[in-house]
Structure formats: structure tokens, C-alpha cells
A and B are shown apart, each in its own frame.
Chain A
Amino acid sequence: MIEIKGLTKRFGKKPVVEDVSVKIESGTITSFIGPNGAGKSTLLSMVSRLLNADTGEVLLDQNNVQKWKSNEFARRVSILKQSNYINVRLTVRELIAFGRYPYSKGRLTAEDEKFVDQAIEYMNLNEMQDKFLDELSGGQKQRAFIAMVIAQDTDYILLDEPLNNLDMKHSVQIMKILRRLVDELGKTVVIVLHDINFASVYSDRIVALKDGKLVKNGPTHEIINSDALRDIYDMDIPIQEQNGCRICVYFNSHT
């Protein structure tokens, strides 16, 4: 389990994340939502050790993440940042193989190859595995990166706005795959999302931030209602139920 305890991060004097405490339940998809500048990405970066917190701590299996060895941590927690635009010419397969780096340091064993094959299979990248990344479309590239994280085979997968720049079809595709990762392989996924409807339809739990503070934290059905959303977004958002999914109709709401 990952436990976030009283995390605070300041950039200059301005607190970007202020005293946030959250428990990430294992075997769930937890979405971080909130307006721009709420501190979602910063929080995710601190959980994954890319940033150091000013105060507070993040515990992975009761141990402070800072105390973990880099290599062992990389076998437990993986993160894909939105800034992961990469200008390196690797083939899809080479990229995915680097997901095994924490295990093999780049000298792939037969077992590593198996994980790479599985990840390629899982993300449906068979046909393009020998193409260079710069020959792929945005959606295919994103799938390749997620395949790399799958090959990394961590219990926790943290994704910072993985749907950025993706069209509807690819967004749905990615969310369905994340759902399968949790339901079939027992992974725990933490994801920063901009579109609350993806959070509503696909996640088990929602953590809502605003101005760096935690405003809501609970199962999805408790957060996706007009009252809670008003607290988060300062908007009146009607909810419509469609085939058991709650859809937030925010397009013409009053602020």
C-alpha cells in the first residue's frame, strides 16, 4: 500500500501541495482530479520520488520511499510523466525492453524477453514493434510507453495525464487497458486526469485537489455528484446517468 502523509511542497514561497494525506488502496484505479494548478502532477511526482517533498512523507509498504534503493523501487513503482516526450530514435521493442532495465540492466534474459513479448501482446503492438518511435502516431506512441511500463512489471503504475493529445478512440482504448491491468493482473493504477468523465467511468476511487489542498477523497460514486463537484470546480455540474455510468455534463454549466 502507498500512504501519503502530510505532504507539502513549495516552489518559492507558494505552496503547490499543502498538507495532503491520502491512502492509495491496492488493486484499484485511483484518479487525481482538480482544476489546473491544483498540484496533481506535483503530488504524483513526489509519490514516485521524482520530486522531494518539503515536509511529510510517502510510505510504500510502511517504508519511506526515500529510503528505498533506486533499483528496488523501480521494480515496485513506475511513473510515466506527461513530459515524457522523447526525441530518442528507438524501435518500439527496444523501448519496451528498457522497461526491464531495473531487472537486467539492459542484458535481457529469456524471462525478460517473455515480459517484453507479453507487454507487446497486451498493448497490441505486434505489427509495429520494429518501427521507430518517431514513425508512430501520438496514440501509438502512448501505447508503446504504457507497454514499457507494463514490461517494468511494477505493482504500482503512476500515470500523469496519459490521455493528453489523444483522440476519443485512443483515450477509451488506454483507459480500458488500465482497467484490465487492475482487474486481470492485480496492479494498482494512480492516474492524473483532466476529463472528469473518464475518472467517473473508469476509476474506483477519486482524489480531488484544489489549490494544493485535498478537497475530496473517496469512492467514485461519492465524488461524482453535483455537490462535491461544486466544491472542487466552482461549477454547477448536472450529472446524467447513462447505462450505469455517471456523466458530468459540464459544457454549458453556470459558474
Chain B
Amino acid sequence: MRLWMLIIAAIVLSFLSLFIGAIDIKPSDLLDWESDETQIFLISRVPRLMAIILAGAGMSIAGLIMQSLSRNKFVSPTTAGTLDAAKLGILISMLFFTNTTYLQEIIFCFAFALAGTLVFMQILDRVKFKDVIFVPLIGIMYGNILSSITTFFGYEADLLQNISSWLMGSFTLVISGRYELLYVSIPAVILAYLYANKFTVAGMGEDFAKNLGLSYKLVLNIGLILVAIISTTVVLTVGVIPFLGLIVPNIVSLYLGDNLRKTIPHTAVLGIVFLLICDILGRVIIHPYEIPVNVTVAVIGSAIFLIMLFRGRAYAKK
């Protein structure tokens, strides 16, 4: 697959995304600056598209970084407890401060996402049996433990409804003024690209990285911080989007390999395309109502993940 094909697909889908929704907007409506259609377009459709683009690229790259650093094809923010830790962070910030400010939520969410991922990497370090399937299973169990803690305290504090709203990855509520945090992921993604070679070298293992004079621990920590930043921005604005960081990098790896300098652009654009397709489907299937994007992503994503598990075990081991 060529990068330009993916980019063209992304542009076409973006255009579709802008003109699909409960209210019919035609390109010609936009000529009238004062019309309701133009207002809806600017307040809802454009922010929604931007959110999809940023979240799609961000989560895919976060997954790619995690797979490289953990040297396991099936590790991603979904399968390493990152997203569950982020949710726990939001809950704790709500428990501690009666009137949580946005900034407090961001800080707690980020700190927990980072700490949660670090703990998982520590567990990974100690596990002797590093089977490709076993490692993400540990990650999923670990994520579920974090998640059940969140549910328990959420239940005790009567915050369960709030929690389930972040569980629901959805672009429905994305309107101008409520998603801008996502732009913070742009510098994180650019940094990831600048560090691409370092991540590739680190992905070959500590001994290998040291042989080439790379400060392994530093690169590892920078990578995990980038993952935490991206996850935080996504969870706080659109919620949890499962599988994206798992599937997209693996598809790219299959046809392009694992040289991050080469694969990061592909991963970003394919992530956008994948998320756009899922979101458009969610908006079309029961039009004029919507299926949240995390449902469509989970259905399509888990199917692809299963195929990867059954057919790709040999590939992931290599």
C-alpha cells in the first residue's frame, strides 16, 4: 500500500464525514455564512472531523510506540492498562476535589496513565514467560483490575453514570469548545516521529540499543510519556476507543515492516481512515440516530484482532 493512496482515502472519507449526519448539509449551503447549516458545520462537523483525525492518528501511533518498546505485537493502550489507569485517574480527581477543574482532570488522568503503563512495563520485565499471547492477556487482566477498582469507588461515590460516559468512546458530544485538548497530541505525534529511529533501536532490546550507544532507559521513558499524553487527550475528549492502537500498527507492520521512521506516517493515516470508516458507519446504520464509535470500532476491531490472533501468531512471534 502506498502512502498517497491512504491519504486520498482519508481526504475522501473526511469529505463524506463532513456531510453526513442527522441534519442534511450540502456544500452549497455553506455559501450562506449566516445559515443554520453553516453554523452546524462549523460548530459540530468540523470539530468532529478534527477530533477523529487527531484521535485516529494519536491512538494508532501510541499503540505503535508501545509495541516497539515492549517488543510485543499485541501490547497497546487497550491491552496494557493505560486507558483503564487513565479512567481511574479521572475518578480519583473527581473524588478528591468536589469541583474538579479541567486542568486537575488532565493532570490526574495523565499521571495515572503514565504510572499505569510503567507498572505494566515493570510486570513485563519480571515475567519470565514472554509468550506473544500471554503478555497482552496479563495486560488485559491488569486493566480489568484497575477498571474494577474504578467501578467500585464509582459505585460507592455514586459516580457510575459519569464513568460509563467516559467508557463510551464517541464523537457525538464533540463540538467546538469541548475537544481542543486533542490538539495537545499534535506535538506528541511530531516528537514521536522525531524519535522514530530511537524507538526502532530500543525495540531491538536493551543490549542491542546499548551496543549502538543509545540511552535505552531515557528513550523508553520518553516513549511512555508520549503514550500517556496521547491517551489522556483522547480519553478526556472522546473517551475510550478500543483496539485502534492494536490493529492499525499491526496491519502496517505486515506490509511495511517495523522501521518506525517509515511506518509512522502510514500508521497515522491508516488510523485516521479506519476511525473515519467506523464513525461514518456508526452514523449511517441507524440514521438519523448514531451508534457510538467505540461500538463500531470494537465490532470491526475485535474481528480483525481475532483473525490476527489465529492467523498471525506465527508472524507475531518472529
Contacts and interface: CB of A to CB of B under 8 A. Distances in A.
B258 A89 contact: yes
Interface string A86-100: 111111001000110
B214 interface: yes
A102 B315 CA distance: 30
Interface stretch (A1-9, A70-78, A240-248): A70-78
Contacts of A87: 71, 73, 316-318
A74 B212 contact: yes
Contacts of B205: 83-84, 86
A134 B318 contact: yes
A58 B57 CA distance: 47
Secondary structure dominating the interface of A: mixed
Contact of A98 (B71, B196, B212, B315): B212
Interface string A103-131: 00111000000000000000000000000
B203 A70 contact: no
Contacts of A134: 315, 318
Given A90-B257, A106-B261, A101 B207 contact: no
A79 B212 contact: no
A101 B214 contact: yes
Nearest to B216: A70
Contact of B200 (A83, A84, A98): A98
A73 B258 CA distance: 27
B197 A105 contact: yes
A49 interface: yes
Contact of A84 (B207, B258, B318): B207
Contacts of B203: 88
Contacts of B215: 70
B211 interface: yes
Nearest to A48: B211
A81 interface: yes
A233 B253 CA distance: 47
A83 B210 contact: no
B208 interface: yes
A104 to B, nearest CB: 9
A152 interface: yes
A225 B197 CA distance: 49
B207 A70 contact: no
A91 B207 CA distance: 20
Interface in A5-57: 48-50
B130 to A, nearest CB: 10
B257 A94 contact: yes
Contact of A88 (B196, B198, B200, B212): B200
Given A70-B215, A84-B208, A106-B261, A89 B318 contact: yes
B211 A74 contact: yes
A74 B318 contact: no
Contacts of B198: 106
A81 B207 contact: yes
A98 to B, nearest CB: 6
Contact of B259 (A48, A90, A102): A90
10 contacts: A73-B213, A74-B212, A79-B207, A81-B207, A84-B205, A88-B258, A90-B257, A101-B197, A106-B198, A133-B318
Interface of B: 68, 71, 73, 196-198, 200-201, 203-205, 207-208, 210-215, 253, 257-259, 261, 315-318
Interface of A: 48-50, 70-75, 78-81, 83-84, 86-91, 94, 98-99, 101-102, 105-107, 132-134, 152
Given A88-B68, A101-B197, 17 more contacts: A70-B213, A70-B214, A73-B213, A74-B213, A78-B211, A79-B211, A84-B207, A86-B208, A88-B204, A89-B253, A90-B257, A91-B257, A94-B257, A94-B259, A98-B197, A99-B212, A106-B198
3 shortest interchain CB distances as A-B pairs: A74-B213, A106-B197, A134-B318
